[in-house]
Chain A
Amino acid sequence: MSHDSRRQFLFKSGLGVGGAALGGFIPGVGTISAASAAELADPLAPKDPHFPAKVQSVIWLHQEGAPSTLDLYDYKPDLIKLAGQHVPASFLKGIKTSTQGGLGKLYASKRTWKQHGESGAWFSDLLPNLAKHGDKMTFIKSSVTVGATHDISILKLNTGDLNPGRPSLGAWITYALGSRNKDLPAYVVLYNGDREPRAGSANWNAGFLPAVYQGTPFRPGNSPILYLDRPDARTATQQRKSLDLLKRLNNLGAERYPNDSELRARLQSYELADRMQAAAPVAVDISKETAATRELYGINDKVSQSYGEVLLRARRLVENGVRFIQVVSGLPNSVESERRDWDAHDDLETNHGTMARMVDKPIAGLLADLKSRGLLESTLVVWTSEFGRTSWGESGTGRDHNPWGYTQWLAGGGLKAGYTYGATDEIGLQTADKDKAVDTYDLHATVLQLLGLNHLKTTYLTNGRTERPTVVYGKVVTDILA
């Protein structure tokens, strides 16, 4: 098959975003007669949800490295009583331990616990600021996933699959709903620390969706996007003329290869970059935020400064209509020798002491700030991780990976605030009621639901198969919806 005829074949097969619209697979479009020319020409044009949305934006707070939620939210008196003993066999049913650390004795850290707010949510002493917001939060204490290495489980957390190639949740949302601000990416990735998240761009890519829907990483610091600034020697007029010529040439190419999503994405990105040169620095410029706001986000503390700055940027991006903001936790700038995230295989006390201090005040500040600005009702904040950590100890002072039962939480519009769904067993190892287990697919389905999208009808045709964000699984956790 020649290059041209293959292109024609693909075009006639209905692949690509245009084909998806023709095939009725763009939510809110349905048929070609309903699809506007603008939607077909601009894949980022706003699209209607399937039903009225509860929230407009999502802040996805990925705690990279997997915190021990047993030491943050999931108070287990029996674990403290049984500490130092072997894990009773009754708790191990269905568990296969293939992790490096093996099966150690039960371990209790030096936490103190208290209930907070009207909901009586449990928090450990590691989260004194976040504890004040328990009544805003909806806990899922029966989270499960497939536990493997961090990179693989992180991939599942973000894309729903253990292998690279599927679109990330943010890409699906951008595909399904389009952009709310044509001057900024609809899907932004933020991280603190001096390097990109360890699991890499596979966690914010578009997979088999057109590349235009992938996330755009914003670096910490004053220049969030590499090479975005116009060189001093080049005038705005020169740049505009150059871009216009480039656009004309690329459009000629796009006419020849209408299903080349990479080219379409490049066309979009040149224009977006031009507009972003003005819009992006303003959107993430926190220098004019008040001293009180900076204090609220913990920016005055070296340990929480970098994460606080990132979350303040996240709030500003929400205000600017960015649809999905994926925030990956890194390391405090003040930590020099300790090159770990939440991954406390040993010395959990020091590790979680630092990491909790890094995120506690910033996240509490974010929730308070969103609330005071009237944005919490239209925003969804998700506190998530690739898995949790075991009830047994590793190395005597740490914990191993636990995919069988851990805590995640959500806050924002459309949720039962101050509510807890599911539970782990008495030692916090496994989900107590398997029927209440919430896997990553279920979390994705629930996030989509709050955005007004039916995950079963958010589909895209690729390789002759209709794919959806939740693969072949996924159920909305209806019990947590208001």
Chain B
Amino acid sequence: MKLLIRMRKPTLLISALLAVASAVHAALPALDMDLMQTIEDTNKSMASHIAGSDAAGSLKDAQELHELFGAVEAHYVGKGDAVDGVELSRKSLQLTKKIIEQVGGKDFTGASESATDLSRTCRACHTFYKQS
């Protein structure tokens, strides 16, 4: 019985810690594969629209990406100890904002370059946070 109690204490402690961790995790904006896939698809769509000088399509995609990168930033800020993630998601936010402005001004060449920078920022982030 004594042994059981001894064993229970650490078990209970670990369980409690896990529960807290889960609660904290649940409070964070989800950063799952679906979100990442949506970002990738939208990014490719935006690059295509910019290349075709399609202002409406480019703006729609850029605005959607801006919102999605907002969620990514919130995730990394909440996560803590993710300096690279915070920095790169903020850079992505700046770039999507810049693209919105460039497309608004019909500067598709500039927007294309910014979109390339955005894609490379995504790739840089994936080198830090790729799955083992």
Contact = CB atoms under 8 A, between A and B. Distances in A.
A459 B116 contact: no
B37 interface: no
A94 interface: yes
Contacts of A468: 47, 51
Given A96-B132, A465-B45, A473 B116 contact: yes
Contacts of A94: 127-128
A345 B132 CA distance: 24
A292 interface: no
B69 to A, nearest CB: 15
Given A456-B112, A475-B116, A467 B48 contact: yes
A298 B15 CA distance: 72
B120 interface: yes
Contacts of B25: none
A284 to B, nearest CB: 38
Nearest to B122: A472
Interface in B66-95: none
B116 A472 contact: yes
Interface in A2-23: 23
> Do most interface residues of chain B lie in helix, strand or loop, or is the interface mixed?
helix
Contact of A465 (B44, B115, B116): B44
B8 interface: no
Contacts of B120: 473, 475
Contacts of B109: 456
B96 interface: no
Nearest to A94: B127
Interface residues of B, number: 21
A434 B124 CA distance: 9
A96 B119 contact: no
Nearest to B46: A472
Nearest to A464: B48
Nearest to B47: A472
A308 B19 CA distance: 68
Contacts of B52: 23, 459, 461, 466
A193 interface: no
A172 to B, nearest CB: 14
A474 interface: yes
A465 B49 CA distance: 8
B45 A474 contact: no
Given A465-B45, A474-B116, A96 B51 contact: no
Nearest to B52: A466
Given A472-B43, A473-B119, A473-B120, A465 B48 contact: yes
Contact of B51 (A434, A459, A473): A459
A153 B47 CA distance: 24
B71 to A, nearest CB: 21
B36 to A, nearest CB: 15
A466 B51 contact: yes
B113 A472 contact: no
Interface string A455-482: 0110101000111101111110000000
A459 B53 CA distance: 12
B123 interface: yes
B92 to A, nearest CB: 13
B113 A456 contact: yes
Contacts of A96: 130, 132
Nearest to B117: A475
Contacts of B130: 96
Contacts of B116: 456, 470, 472-475
A472 B52 CA distance: 14
Interface of A: 23, 94, 96, 434, 456-457, 459, 461, 465-468, 470-475
Given A465-B48, A466-B49, A472-B116, 11 more contacts: A94-B128, A96-B132, A456-B109, A457-B51, A459-B52, A467-B48, A468-B47, A472-B119, A473-B120, A474-B116, A475-B120
Q: Which 7 A-B pairs have the closest CB atoms?
A: A472-B119, A466-B51, A466-B48, A465-B48, A456-B112, A472-B47, A466-B52
6 contacts: A456-B109, A456-B113, A457-B51, A472-B47, A472-B115, A473-B123
